Every structure is written in C-alpha cells, then in structure tokens.
Structure 1
Amino acid sequence: MKYQNLFRSTILALASSMAIVPIMSVHAQNVELQKVFQQLSAMPVVRANFEQQKKLASLNKTYVSKGTVLFSKNAGVLWQIQTPVKADLIVTPKKLIQKTQRTYSQIEVEKTPYGSVATMFLQLMSGNETALAKNFNVVSAEYSPTAWNVVLTPKSNLFKKLFDRVDAQGQRYVNKIVIQEKAGNSTTIRFTQQTSQPQTLTANENELFQLAK
C-alpha cells in the first residue's frame, strides 16, 4: 500500500503541477499561461533530482522519497526512486510500468482511471493542451522571465476525489509542486539540478522505456 501511494503521489504531483490549460476567463492570465506552457514544452529532454514529502495528517507522519526523473518527448517519463526503496516507474502514452529488483507490474493506460493522471506530464511537455484541459481549471497564473507560478483545481470527479488543489512554482524548469489532498494530507515535490542535457538517452534508459512499448 505504501508503495502504491508513492507511485500515485509522485506521478500525480508532477503531472498535475504543470497542467497548463487555455481556459482562463481573463485574457491577460491566459497569456501568462501560454508563456509558461511554451517555456516548459520547448525542451525535448529534461532531467532532475527530486525529493517527495508526503504528509499524512491522521498519523502525523511525513514519508520522504528521493530519486531522479527523466522526461523524453519521444520516449516518455522515467522516475527512478533511490530511497527509501529502489524502483523504476516508466510512463508512456500506452503503459505504466513499476519495476523493482523483485517485482514487476504493468498497466495499460486505457484500462485504468489513473491513466490520464499518470500520462499528464507527458501530455504537457509534448504540447497536448486538449487532453490537459479535460481535467483541470486554472485558478491563477503568473509569469516573469525569472519566476512563474500556477494554481490548479481539479475539474473531473475522479480528480476531485483525490485532491483539492495543486500549486506549482518554477523558473526555467519546475522547482516545486504542492498537492493539497483530502483529509488534510499533502504531497510536496522539490526538483533540483534540472538540466536539458544530455539529450541522448543511455542504454539503460532506452531499455526501460522499451518495457512500456
């Protein structure tokens, strides 16, 4: 259960954090949104370290996980968790793969209600605004050359059952994501050492993405 929560929270957070959708009622805010979207979607490859803190209000505990994340516009999204356990999470438009040293599981995106959540980051970075707009409303968006932030609320009934709002902040890349969940729970992910290099995937990265073909 703890592992499943880790998977869901990690994918949900990054995917939701940057769901930049063109549905603002104020034109000026819509322009700000487009600037953020264009900046993020312009990079074919993004690599970063991440630290996720998941707070469970009922237990008064915070669970921390760390690792790296890779986005490839041509391949998908690869989360490689280093602590507290090692695991590879691979997300493509077709499949979700969870792989550890002892376990392996895969889910076809179309056969799970979480598929649209898990693939949202990929849709954003690939420029698929239509898919993103189905699930989120934008409460506010601010952009400058040195910083931006976006506040989102869920539109679909599925997402409303999972969380209340998403706050995302960044500069050239996404720096921080906070998901306010139900029952006072929250998930915070911080990204560091973001880079668009190297753009060529390693043999191991290509091998992992091949699992989700």
Structure 2
Amino acid sequence: MSYFIRRIALSLCCLLMAPIACAFDLTALSNQLANNAVVRGPFIQEKHLRAMAQPLTSRGQFVLAADSGLLWQLQSPISQTYRINSEGIARRTSDGWQMQPGNNAAAQQSRLFLALLRGDSSGLEADFELQLQGTKDDWALTLEPRALLLKQIFSRIEIKGGGLVQRIELLETQGDRTLLQLPNSQAASALSQTERDNFAD
C-alpha cells in the first residue's frame, strides 16, 4: 500500500511542479535569444507610409554577433552596410566606418533591433512595458513605450518568433509602420573570417 501512496504522491508533485518547470517568461526568452553567439540570415523590411499605396521595400543580409554587434547589409534598392554596437551606428564608406547621428527614429529602431535580437529584456524594460505570450517555440512580445521620447515615435512594437526572432513590427504614432521579416535566420557558434573583417575598423 505504501508503494502506491508514494507513487501517487510523486505523481502529484510532478503535476504541481510541471507548470513551474515549463513556464515561459521574459527571463526564459532572454536566455533563449542570448544563447547564440552568432545569428545571421536575410531580411525583408517594408516601410508602410500613410501617403503611399505601396510600401517601400528593402532587402539584405544581417549578422548579429554577441561580442561585436549587428552588421546590417542592405542589398536593394541600394547597396549600403551599417554597423550597430554599443558605440552607436556607423555606415561603411570608402574611407572606412563613419559614425551616424544617434538621435533620430532610425537610430532608435536600430538600437531596439539590436536589443531585441540579443534578448536584452532588462534593457528594454527600462523604456517599455513588456507583455509576453506563448511558448519557447511560438511566442509574441508586445512593447508599449513608457519613455517620453519613445512615446513620441512609437505607439507599440510587436515581435514574434520561436527559437529566434522572426518578425518585428514597429507602429509609429503618426500612423506609419515598419515591418521587418527574418525568414531564414540561422544560429552559429562563431563568425566567419569575412564577417570578422566586416566588423573590423
């Protein structure tokens, strides 16, 4: 009899502990996204403007490295490469990397993108109210700005993903929105030599 009681007690303990063990929260999401040394892949960005019937679409490749930052390689409609890291945003020119102004909407979007791909929820919580739904394989995160400057730019930001971020949509207070899709991102353990050269000064 005691054997069956122990089995029932053990089963009850497992049932009670399962929701806790399987809970998917902001900490779990941050750890999941930050667990990758390198993430790379193509991107498709659509800028939907109220005054235009069709969105402005750009395509390219990105490389995110935990130690180096984000390399944003625009391929169409023009060819241009940007590097985003803790120092700011730089554009590659024939003379090397040139730092860009960091007080505009594009700069804010770039920094947000870097924080999101890195899984830096603690950094995001300083400026946003975060609401997470779903599981580790299918989640949705909504960011509502609390900082005054961000409230002037964004009404909210919606991010969806699984093992990696797959979609980011930035909805602006003026009615415009930017949709960023990352359809085939891949995680890796290290940068290639070409990528290391691209990050270098």
Q: TM-score range by the shorter chain?
A: 0.7 to 0.9
User: Structure 1: any 5+ residue segments left out of the alignment?
Assistant: 1-29
Equivalent of 1:92 in 80, 85, 89: 85
Percent identical: 23
Q: Structure 2 CA distance, aligned partners of 1:101 and 1:35?
A: 42
Q: Structure 2 CA distance, aligned partners of 1:156 and 1:135?
A: 5
Matched with 2:111 is 119
Q: Structure 1 CA distance, aligned partners of 2:135 and 2:119?
A: 20
Displacement, 1:51?
Answer: 0.3
Equivalent of 2:59 in 46, 62, 66: 66
Q: Structure 1 CA distance, aligned partners of 2:75 and 2:84?
A: 17
> CA separation of 1:32/1:42 partners in 2, compared to 1, >3 Å: closer, same or farther?
same
2:29/2:136 contact within 8 Å kept: no
Matched with 1:51 is 44
User: Structure 2: any 5+ residue segments left out of the alignment?
Assistant: 1-22
Higher RCO, 1 vs 2 (CA within 8 Å, ≥6 residues apart):
1
Q: Does 1:160 align with 2:151?
A: yes
2:80/2:92 contact within 8 Å kept: yes
CA RMSD of aligned residues (A): 2.6
Matched with 2:73 is 80
Matched with 1:42 is 35
Equivalent of 1:178 in 165, 169, 172: 169
Q: Structure 2 CA distance, aligned partners of 1:171 and 1:127?
A: 12
Matched with 1:148 is 139
